[in-house]
Each structure stands twice: as structure tokens, then as C-alpha cells.
Structure 1
């Protein structure tokens, strides 16, 4: 093993351990003493009282504790004078000064529950807000819905992809594609910004590399306001990662074991003293997966000897993935009104995969032929991200300025060695060596300003700059029986560069007239896209195109948004909104020949692909009671120049042996702008605490679709002659998606969860997709006096989560089956240590357009 490999292994093995030991050493270096005490009233111990000790000389030495169920607490303090304060539910806060000189017990605090407090000793306690865990994991706000995954047992120990599978209004396909209300054009943000953590083009592998335990909440924004970027016609999923807000030193560690083989270990550490705080999250994991694909192709009107009447492809690919991540950040409060923050993230993702594809060709009046295709592949991804910010409050009335800068870099390498064997011979008939290199550099800078106008109005304005630079380096070598020496495939060996620059400005005004709240916004986005492409084809080569392509595109679009609300009563409101959105093509889609992994199933890019635009309307109603919340929403979305995937086949001749030529049918997939797409339906979300031990959370989406569009394309007839065929995408109908989660509380420490998912089929003239359903199970047990949690879950209990479809082309019918991941089991153990108290946040002026929770729809630009 090379020296660099040894160093890499050493770093990965001991990374998490180093985090914990380093933090612990830092705390131990403070020369503290251990004190203990008790909080009680005339009837005994007062459970879960908050006790905060503020050092008079050095705020960095302050600390806090939370009493247990009997009122007992223990913590380490440096000797000195402290202002101590106590607060508990139904007890009045009282403050006094004490002196800590040596380790040992101090006299108990005696509090009175009639609104007065008294202390028997010279001790005191500063007020800290005690927040009970919300029983509602799903909350409706004016322009977004917030999902809290902390009560999601079926994704414990999993990844972001597992969590998204359980979020209302969101669905995850068997290939990892995320969609909202039937559309996969979802924009992902991390803490309000595009992020290198999600990789280039938001691949499913990136979603699997973010641990579920690092996610604080997910904002589901189906109709984003002008304050948000306009990309993502289906909406925005904003992933908020955890940042501990407790005083003192806090930490937790979670380990997971599972099958298919899966291991994860993640650590979260934080320290907050006075005006300074830092956090450090890190860990890694290993995961195996197996996906299965089957394609059965049936060709029309075959009458020539040697032509294919049927072809069948069976594929099974096994992946071994490992990922490591670390995020560190600091926040410093310069004053009561100004704070600065900085954070850095590094993430690695590595994968080894092996796959076999069996091809079976049924020929007209000829013996069948067979081909076996073996693939060995490796990939690795390295992402860095640095974030910097400044927040300033001009006054206490809500006039705020927020500045941020994000620098991101993501590098991805993919290599494949593909060999084919005709009729299961031991002699290689074809070999491909494929090397793909991609590099993404991204800069995001933004400024947001808020100005209250009177008591009921607010003006918001902002600017945002996005600079994105993707480079693609693709190299494909091929050898055959006829040409045993590896040579470049000029059409698929290329260099490409994709640059995009966006400047965005927005202005938004909120106010209220009686019970009617309104928000009007306008966003202007000026964008410039440049594609540089060069392949190795020479004049006269098969498939020759101009080897050098340079294309520039510029857009200037206005995106209005209107939000209205009518409050019938507390927690009872009607919401109406309209927005205009844009779907910009992925950089990958604009590269003429972006990939070559299978010489019989090829994805072709389209450099002429343009953005599509969506007008989106929603009418929603929200009512929330103590035990029940329901949020039905009627929606309509009209999309112009919709991007559709054109699938067609060609007959291509290749030289299998010297002077021996054969034909093979090759399927091509190409994105095109075509026609319109209308979606409309009823999206219903609800929470119901049926009893003290039974809770339900559900989502039902009954939707209609009306797709229009047809296009001619070039293909071959049954005799190999070129013809022009018509691809017809027209189709309309009604379908459903639904999810129901039931949580059973067995006792104070044990919870069970059962979740069912169903997606109805869809039908157009071009493709039919069949129904799909799945059942998941989870269980959680609290141990070690609340400091530990043991969780177990089964994903896809009956192994039914698979996508099946039938696609019709001019001369063939294709039946497809795909299962991205079979049934899985995981067991996770979480341990939390040195949990301090949550810091009381300054109360913000309630937004007149917020719901009764007081949230004021803060969001990214």
C-alpha cells in the first residue's frame, strides 16, 4: 500500500475519535470543580428546572444545567462568583449571587409554586426558556411548510434521502429522483443556499451522504415568494442543518448498523460561553446497495432474416459506498446588535460498483444471440464549502441587515472498465475504458434588508449573485475483436465548460388590513450562460459534428409573487398565492454527448435546450387545534416549453471482427423542449393526536395532469431505411399519491411507528407508469435516563418499492422495471452528553402575515 493510501486510511479511521478527544481535552483544561444540588418545593423535587450560572468576572466560564425528574443536577464550574438563576414551569424566576470555591454539594433551592420564589441559601438562577418537544412534526406557514424529522423513527440512522421519503408533499422515486406534486424540478438548498454538499446536478449519491441525524428541519416551499430564487418549478426544499444553541459544552454521538451492510458514526459537539460559540459536526459511514433493472423490448413488423423481434436486458449493479464529512463553525456576538459567523465544510464520497447486464436477442427465423456485459467502476467526490456572514440590527423594531458569502468547490471523478462477451464466450468482444472528470466552482453572495413601516407593515429588499463554473473532461477508449488496440471514441471524448452568472434583485412588501394579510413581491433575474464544447471527431468520422461549439445565452426575466391570507380566528386561516418560476436546464443536459456508459442505451445532451416557465396558483386552508391540524391546498400549475425525455432507437452498424459487420439496435434518450404541461389537484396534509398513545400524520395528493406535445424525429424503419416518426406526449388523467404515518407510544420510553406509501399510475400516449406502494416500520427506545436512544427500522418491509413502466416508440414497445434498493434493516444508538440549557432568544416582533406560531417566513434569497 502506498504512503498516501496509508495516510488516508489513518485519517478516516481516527477522524471521529479525534473530534471527541480534542473537545474533551479543551474542556478539561479549564481546572473546574464539580458541584451538585437540588431544586425542590414543599412537596419534593421540582423536575426539569433550568439552572444557569453566570460568572461575574469572565462570561466564558458561565454554564448551565437541567435538573432531572427529581430536581437533582450536577455540573463543573471554575471557582469564582456567579449570578445564578432558576426557572421552571409555574415558578417565578429569582436571582441571587453565590461563591463557588471547592467541589461538593450546595444547599438546595426551595421554590414556591404560587408565583413567588424563595431560596434557603445564597444561591440564585437566571431565567432560561424551557421548550417542550412539539407534538406536531409538520407546521404550516404563509409561504412554506416546515417538517421536523426528530419524530421520524423510520429514517433514524439513515440519510437525507431517507428523510425526504417521509416528508409530506414530497416523493422519492426508486432511482433516487426527488419530486414534489409530481414534478422532479425541485431546487435543493442547504441552510438557504445552493451547496457543494449536494454535488454537481444534485445526484442521489449526494443525498445519501448527508446523515439524517444532522438535519434539524426541512422547509417545503411549494410556491416560493420573490424573496427566494426563481429556479425550481416544482418548488424548493431547504435543508436546515443542526447548530446547537445551548450554553456550555454539549455533544452527542450516534452509531448505526444495518443490512444491506451499513455502518455510520456521527458526532456533534458544541460550546457556548458568553458572546462566543462554536460547533463541530463530523463522522462517516459505509453502505452497500443493489439496484436491479430489466428492459424487455418488442419490435414491430419485423420480416427480415437476422432482424431482432425481441431483446431483453437484465441488469444488477452492486455498490459499496463510503462517505466522510466534517463541519466546523463559529459565531461571535460583537454587540447586542451585531454578530459575525464563519463555517467550513468538507465532504468526501467514494464508491466501488460492479455490474452485469445480460442481453438476449430474439431474431426473425434465426438463432437467438446473447451478450454478457461486465462493468467495474469507481468514483470519488470531494467537496469544500466556506460560509461567512454578518448580521446587524439597527434597532429593536426589526430593521435588520444580513450579508453572506459562500465559496464552494466540488470535484468528482468516475472511472469504468466495461467488457462484453458474445454468446458467453471467454474472449472479450468489446472493451471500454471510460474516464469522467467534473469540477464545479460556485460563489454565492447575497444581502437582505428588512425595514418595518409602522406597526403592521414591512419592506424587504435584497440582492444576490450566483457564479457557477462547471468543467467536464470525458475520455472514452474502445477496443473490439476487429481493433484490439484501445482507441478514442471521438464523439464521446471531449472537453466542455459550462458557465452561468445570475444577478438577482427583489423587493417585497407586507402589510395587513383587518383580518386580511398580503404580501406583494417582484424579482428580477439577469442570467448569462456560456457553453464551450470540443470533441475529438475528425471530418469524415461516423457521426461527425463540428468539433468546436461555443454557445452563449442571456435571459432577463421578471418573477412576480402575490400572497394573501384571511384569518377567521386564531389558528384558522385561508391562504391564496400566485408565483412565476423558471426551470433552467442542468449544465449536464446542455453538453451534446455527456455520457457513454452503455453502447446500447445512450443519453444525448441538447445544447439548444432552453428554460421553461411555470405559472403556479394555490388556494389553501389551515386550521390547527391542540390535537388536530389540517391543511388542504388546491393547486394549479401551467408550464410552457416543458422539458420531456425523448426515447427513440436507431440501428447502428459496427465491425465485430475484421471484415465482419453487424447491426445492433441502440436506444437514445434526449431532453427536449416540447408543448405544455398542466397539473392540478388537492394536496391534503394533517396531524392528529388521536389519544395520548396514538398519533397520525398523513398526506394525500389527488391530482390531474394534461400534457400536450408531439415532435418529429429521425429513426429507421424495419429495413434500416431512414424515416421521420412522430413522438406523441399527449395524455391526461387523474392519479394519486398518499402517505400515512402512525406512531404508537407504548410507554414513556418506547415508541413504534408504521408508515405506508402509495403512488398511483399515470398514462400518456407515450408512456404508462404503474402503481407503486411500500410499508416501513420503526421503533425507538429511550435509555440511560434520557441520555441515550436506541432505534430500529425496516425500510420497504414487503420489498415492493419498484418502478414499472411501458414506453411506446414508432417501432417498438419497452417494458421496464427498476428497483433502486431492496428491503433494508438498521439499528442505531444515540448517546447525548453534557446537555446544557437553551439560550433564551430575544423575542421578535411578530410578523403580521405570519401564522399564530409567530414565524415570519424567513427564507433565502
Structure 2
């Protein structure tokens, strides 16, 4: 309190003091640079006050700039300086050596005020979760906002959310989380770069957790939404970091981020470059049960990438009620995909032939992304808003591959081929949202969204025949895919301190057109669907609440589900798209209880999902070749239970856990074959974060995924362990990370297809990944790691 009164007094005198009070004949210039004692980093926006040595009255003052520098003029030599900043010991300077009316104090060091920081942590507002109708809101208190931690670390304090040391975000144990900034998609929310590194805890007002989205959000489902709400009055100054990473297999990158905030502008940029190699071991067995023939294949595939990317953007605060955002991103990737596969062909136990197939693939991938957003806040209520946004992106791929077969034993099976791919994809999203809180209890929302997806994939296969490459018309295609989705929604909500109800309706029209230009095969679909949502909540006490929700969702087939494209890396196991595929629809019901017991926060859910036109990958067999194609097969009724929690018994230990069990009932037919069966599936995740001495954090995450029955066979289960160690240096200005993913190389995926006439076995293993990174942060926040993950 004394510190606050001190700052208020300084500001009061700076505003009201009169120039006549210190009018003298000579002008003296006082300058210096302010830095931290521990890190030698500049301290921006610290208060520098000049006092009269006799009367002790304040004469004038200023603040340091972004680089900790200050320059102030006085007309009196009988003065002393007092320099202060929240979290640091106040420093008084009475020795002011003057040379030619210039007083240069050089570098001035401020030490941290540990007692003051401790007082803030003890007496400040504690972060807590508030339960709303269709979401949970985690309000960031001073216990977190004053720590200087990053946005990723703030997310890791949110119940049901986990962020591992490499920055990967999961919600209730599932990936695929959509990140929004102030309710909208943003380049800053890109998880594949260090974009979130420009956001620090003191900038965040709250984080909204949405697991069962209302009609406001597009009907195509995700595992959940995390909406980061930034404070309206963000601290000004510089913030950023640079980092370098290396790893085994090759995973090397450098990156950085810079953020500059002023009263009117927020300028941000991220950039990175690197090289990575992603290997995969693969084994496949095809068994023809009719004639007792078998094809064995095994080998190692690589995806090597050299990449560059840069993001530039700005927020412009026109005034208190209008904010404009403009940002863009460019990325460029150079791919190299060498692979080697060994084949063996048997009749019974007799080896007929053995050969090796080598692949050499090269590709270049340019990518653009840009965003414009306008948010207007009405004077009547800060929650009364209108938001308009436009996003666009482009992705291109120019790829060529050469496949060479060499017979090692037995019959000659040489089959040299080459392919060429010219791929172009453009996506556009236009969105408008209007929110009007009529009063404290009633709120209405409405808006619209229009999404355009335009893709062309020109794919050619050539066979080496008589020393010349000839186009294979059966495998060559030029596929065009165009999809337009228009969505309009409205919601109405009533909520008081105890309970609430929110009703919503979304209508979406989908226009889909596909065309195989070389065969003139076309497929056009135009359908309109209603997507109702209902959400309710009841608060029994401060520590126990119930939420119930219903929503209808849609899964629209993606490009590679529709494109009849032949991947001939292994030409005995081919995956082909289905242009006639229909969307699947899901009715989702959920009852969730959220409660706190001491230092533990728990959330448990009972859910039921009923899906029609389920998309399943179905295998067929011809001439010892397995063709896998997505098909719409019947219905799937799922009943499940999920519970997750977070427990922090002390400041140095946090335990997290997630358990999900579901029982499913599958019904359907395909080509006169009945697929009616029941099964179960469960998964669990246990994690611990341990704070060790010397600012070292240890993180252990164990995962288990059970096996489950499929429409044609089964998928095996697997378990794996990730370990990470982080060391903070100079209070987090430098951070070193060591991570080991899949420590025991046990994340093995096995798929079995068991049919009356054939059997297939597919084995895949990514293996162990070891990474080490070091990063340096400047400005207000800690150092952030640029992970260099795939965009």
C-alpha cells in the first residue's frame, strides 16, 4: 500500500507541478540507463523522480524508455534522484557529478525486492475458475499474472488443460484443440510456431474452456476450444525471445519473436528456420487365404524438411471502442523423402521372389496466410460487441518421385515408376459476430460465417516400358475439389448466480463439387442442415457445479478422403479416396460435474454420442494387393465416462490425470457384409511436474491407449512415456529444455484386418525423439522455445 501511495504521489506532483517552481538560470541534463541486477537486462517504464535536497519536494520526473534509458532536465543543482519500479528496491542517488551542465550516471542497477514480490503473491487475487452456461472461465489472478510466465504456462494452470515441455496442448487428454485470441482465429494462436511466445501472463484477463461448443461455433467438430481473452489495458513495451534447438533424429531450428506495444499499436513478428527428419519403420503382410500366397514388406521411410517462416502483424487501436488487426504469414518448405522397402513373395512356404524398392522424392511447399479483423465495442456495455474478420490461406506443392525396383532373388519383378504432383489449395473464411447483453441476465448472439475451400491436385504416374516412361492412365488423375459452407446462427441465454439456460440454432448450407478432369467424373452435392444446441448449468456451491449440454455436429469428408489418389510407395498396399463419400452427423449429449476438493480440481463427464453415416476405412483385396478406401458404414452409438483432475499438494509438485472409457455399438453393412458388433475402448494419461532445486523442472507423462475392435479386425493398444527437463536461468530470461518423446520406443501401432478370403497386418513405429533447446527472452516475459513443429 505504501508503494502504491508513493507512485500516486509522484504522478500527482508530475501533473500539477508548475514550471515556475523551479525556474533557474542554468539547465542541467541528467541521463542514465537502468538494468536488473540479476540479468543485466534493461528495465523499461521505471519512475525517475527528481527531489529538492532541502525541502524534499518533488521537482520533476520521467520514465525510462524501452531500453531502460532516461533523460531529464533540471534548473537546480541542489537535487537528488529516486528511482523506483514495482518488484524492485527503490534506489536513491545523491552523488550527481556534473561536467559542462551534463550529469551522466551511466548504468544504474536495481535489485529485486523479494519482500514486496512475496506480499503480492500472498495478498493478491488468486486465479479461479467460474462456470458459465457453455464454458468454464479461468480468471487469471495476480498469483499468476505477476510471475512473468508465458501464455503456454498459464494454459498449463487451467484445469483439464495440459501443455508438455515441447508446447503441445491437449484438452481432457485429446489433441486437436482450437486456440482463439479474443474469440477469433489469429496468427498469434498458431501452435506450430512460437507465436504464443509474444503473450505473457500479465496480458491475459481470462481463458475460456469450451468442450461442447454452442451454435456460435461452426458445426464441424474439434476436441474443444480454448479462447484467450487479453486485457484491454495491456502494458506497453518490448517483449520477445530468440531460441535454438537440436535433436536426434535431426531436428535443428532457430527462431525468434518480437512484440512491441504502444498506446495505439501492437506490432508483432515471429520468424524461424530449420531442418528436421522424421523417420518411420513400417512392416506390412498381405495373406491370400484362397491360394495361400503371401507378400511381406518392411522398410524405413523418411520425411526430411528444410523450412523457413515469418509472421508480421499489428493491432491498431483507433480509439477505445475500435480495434483493427492485420497480420500475415509466409512459410516455405523443401522436402526430401527417401525410403527403402524390402519385398518377399511366397507361395505357401516357398520363396518365389525377393526384391527391393527405393524411393527418391523431392518437393517444394510455399504457404501464405493472412488475417484482417475489426472489433467494435459499444459504449453502453463493454460486452456489447460486433466483430468482423476475414482470413485467407494458400498452400502449394510441386513434387516429383522416382521409384526403382531391383530383383534380389527369384522371378524378375522390376517395375520402375515415377510420379509428378502439382497441388494448389486456397481457403477463405469470412465471419461476423454480434453480442448484445440486454441486461445482467439475458444475452443474445447472432452472426454468420462463409468458408470457401478450392483445391486442385494434378497427379501423374509413369511406368518404365522399353526404356521409356509411359503415362499410366489408370493411375493418373487431375482432381478438383470445391466446397462452400455458409453458416448463420442465433443464441439466447438466461443466467443468474445459480443456474442458467442457453438455446441456440445454427443453419449451414454446404455446396460441394468434385471433378476428375481426365475421366469427366463429377460429383455435386448441395445440402442444408440445422444444428440445434442446448446448454444448462446449475451451481450447487462455490466448489461444485453441474453442466449439461446437447449439440449436433457434422464431419465433412476432407480432401484426401474424397480424392481417388493412388499412393504407390508400396504398390501392394494402396490407399484411395472416395469422391462419393457422404458427411457423417453426430448427436452429442454430455453431463459434467466440476468440483474442487482442497487443492484438487476434478471434472467428470457422462456422455452419449450417436453418429450416422459413419466414415470407416475399409480394405478390399485383389491380386494380393490391399486397397483401403473410406466408406459410409451404418451407425455408431457410444456411451462413455471421462474423468480428469489436477492436484497440487505443494508448490513444487503437480499431478494430472485423465481417464476415458467408452462402450460402442456398431451397426451397418457394406457389399452384403454385415458389420454389427459391440466393443469397448479406454485410455488413460498420468502426468507429474516436479520442481527441483536450482530452478529445474522435471516432467513425466505416461499414456496408455487400449486396443479396440474395428469393422474388419482390430487395432492393438500401446503405452508410451515422455520425459522433459527444463532449467531456468536468470529468473527465466534463459531457459534450457531437454525432452525425450517415447522413451522406450513403445508407441507401436498395429492394425489387423481379418476377412474370410484375406488377412493383412500393418505395423508402424515412429521411434524415440530426443530434443534440446535453449532460448533467451527479453522484455517483460520469459524465454520461449521455438519448437519448429510442422505447420
TM-score band, normalised by shorter chain: 0.7 to 0.9
Deviation of residue 351 (structure 1)?
Answer: 1.8
State the SS of the aligned residue for 1:786.
coil
CA distance 1:106–1:318, shift in 2 (3 Å): closer
State the SS of the aligned residue for 2:693.
coil
Deviation of residue 369 (structure 1)?
Answer: 1.4
Deviation string 1:378-422 (CA, Å, 9 cap, x unpaired) is 222211111111111111512111111112211122221111123
How many angstroms apart in 2 are the aligned matches of 1:242 and 1:283?
Answer: 25
Matching residue of 2:258: 269
Query: Residue 834 in 1 paired to residue 770 in 2?
Result: no
Query: Residue 455 in 1 paired to residue 440 in 2?
Result: yes
Match of 2:563 among 591, 595, 599: 591
Q: Is the contact between residue 215 and residue 240 of structure 1 (CA under 8 Å) also seen in structure 2?
A: no
Matching residue of 2:700: 754
Matching residue of 2:324: 340
State the SS of the aligned residue for 1:469.
strand
Deviation string 1:608-627 (CA, Å, 9 cap, x unpaired) is 11111100011001113662
How many angstroms apart in 2 are the aligned matches of 1:639 and 1:149?
Answer: 34
Deviation of residue 773 (structure 1)?
Answer: 0.3
Deviation of residue 150 (structure 1)?
Answer: 2.7
Deviation of residue 633 (structure 1)?
Answer: 1.0
Deviation of residue 361 (structure 1)?
Answer: 1.2
Match of 1:358 among 342, 346, 354: 342
How many angstroms apart in 1 are the aligned matches of 2:357 and 2:188?
Answer: 33
Q: Is the contact between residue 221 and residue 235 of structure 1 (CA under 8 Å) also seen in structure 2?
A: no
Deviation string 1:207-228 (CA, Å, 9 cap, x unpaired) is 8677896898998754221011
Query: Residue 76 in 1 paired to residue 86 in 2?
Result: no
Q: Is the contact between residue 198 and residue 258 of structure 2 (CA under 8 Å) also seen in structure 1?
A: no
How many angstroms apart in 2 are the aligned matches of 1:315 and 1:249?
Answer: 50
> What TM-score do the two structures reach when normalised by structure 1?
0.72
Where do 1:390-405 residues align within 5 Å?
Answer: 390-397=374-381, 398-405=383-390
Deviation of residue 569 (structure 1)?
Answer: 1.7
Where do 1:169-248 residues align within 5 Å?
Answer: 169-170=173-174, 221-232=210-221, 235-236=223-224, 246-248=235-237
Matching residue of 2:512: 529
Query: Residue 629 in 1 paired to residue 601 in 2?
Result: yes
Matching residue of 2:58: none
Matching residue of 2:15: none
Match of 1:510 among 474, 479, 493: 493
Query: Residue 803 in 1 paired to residue 749 in 2?
Result: yes
Where do 1:172-571 residues align within 5 Å?
Answer: 221-232=210-221, 235-236=223-224, 246-302=235-291, 308-364=292-348, 367-397=351-381, 398-423=383-408, 429-480=414-465, 483-513=466-496, 515-535=498-518, 547-571=519-543
Matching residue of 1:822: 767
Q: Is the contact between residue 246 and residue 835 of structure 1 (CA under 8 Å) also seen in structure 2?
A: no
How many angstroms apart in 1 are the aligned matches of 2:484 and 2:35?
Answer: 60
How many angstroms apart in 2 are the aligned matches of 1:515 and 1:799?
Answer: 50
CA distance 1:594–1:360, shift in 2 (3 Å): closer
Matching residue of 2:737: 791
CA distance 1:789–1:817, shift in 2 (3 Å): same
Matching residue of 2:12: none
Deviation string 1:44-88 (CA, Å, 9 cap, x unpaired) is xxxx99965699xxxxx97679xxxxxxxx922455799999656
- Give unpaired runs (5+ residues) of structure 1: 1-30, 40-47, 56-60, 66-73, 92-99, 118-127, 172-177, 179-185, 199-205, 303-307, 536-546, 652-664, 713-725, 838-861
- Provide the alpha-carbon RMSD of the alignment: 4.2
Q: Is the contact between residue 156 and residue 212 of structure 1 (CA under 8 Å) also seen in structure 2?
A: no
Matching residue of 2:642: 683
CA distance 1:63–1:454, shift in 2 (3 Å): farther
CA distance 1:369–1:625, shift in 2 (3 Å): same
Query: Residue 150 in 1 paired to residue 153 in 2?
Result: yes
State the SS of the aligned residue for 1:606.
coil
State the SS of the aligned residue for 2:461.
strand
How many angstroms apart in 2 are the aligned matches of 1:707 and 1:438?
Answer: 37
Deviation of residue 337 (structure 1)?
Answer: 1.0
Q: Is the contact between residue 458 and residue 511 of structure 1 (CA under 8 Å) also seen in structure 2?
A: yes
Q: Is the contact between residue 168 and residue 739 of structure 1 (CA under 8 Å) also seen in structure 2?
A: no
CA distance 1:149–1:810, shift in 2 (3 Å): farther
Q: Is the contact between residue 157 and residue 827 of structure 1 (CA under 8 Å) also seen in structure 2?
A: no
Q: Is the contact between residue 647 and residue 809 of structure 1 (CA under 8 Å) also seen in structure 2?
A: no
CA distance 1:625–1:324, shift in 2 (3 Å): farther
Query: Residue 601 in 1 paired to residue 573 in 2?
Result: yes
Where do 1:718-729 residues align within 5 Å?
Answer: 726-729=672-675
Deviation of residue 606 (structure 1)?
Answer: 1.6
Deviation string 1:299-321 (CA, Å, 9 cap, x unpaired) is 2242xxxxx52221112112222
Where do 1:108-123 residues align within 5 Å?
Answer: none
State the SS of the aligned residue for 1:822.
coil
Deviation of residue 236 (structure 1)?
Answer: 4.3
How many correspondences in the alignment?
694
How many angstroms apart in 2 are the aligned matches of 1:693 and 1:626?
Answer: 17
Q: Is the contact between residue 556 and residue 583 of structure 2 (CA under 8 Å) also seen in structure 1?
A: yes
Q: Is the contact between residue 507 and residue 531 of structure 2 (CA under 8 Å) also seen in structure 1?
A: yes
> What TM-score do the two structures reach when normalised by structure 2?
0.78
How many angstroms apart in 1 are the aligned matches of 2:543 and 2:305?
Answer: 46
Deviation string 1:119-154 (CA, Å, 9 cap, x unpaired) is xxxxxxxxx999999999x99865457997438799
Deviation string 1:529-588 (CA, Å, 9 cap, x unpaired) is 1112122xxxxxxxxxxx112222101111011111101122421010000011111123
Deviation string 1:660-687 (CA, Å, 9 cap, x unpaired) is xxxxx21101111110012221111111
Deviation string 1:128-185 (CA, Å, 9 cap, x unpaired) is 999999999x998654579974387998774x7xx14x553315xxxxxx6xxxxxxx
Deviation of residue 698 (structure 1)?
Answer: 1.1
CA distance 1:786–1:102, shift in 2 (3 Å): farther
CA distance 1:415–1:221, shift in 2 (3 Å): farther
Matching residue of 2:726: 780
Query: Residue 34 in 1 paired to residue 32 in 2?
Result: yes
How many angstroms apart in 2 are the aligned matches of 1:569 and 1:423?
Answer: 74
Q: Is the contact between residue 165 and residue 724 of structure 2 (CA under 8 Å) also seen in structure 1?
A: no
Query: Residue 668 in 1 paired to residue 621 in 2?
Result: no
CA distance 1:207–1:689, shift in 2 (3 Å): closer
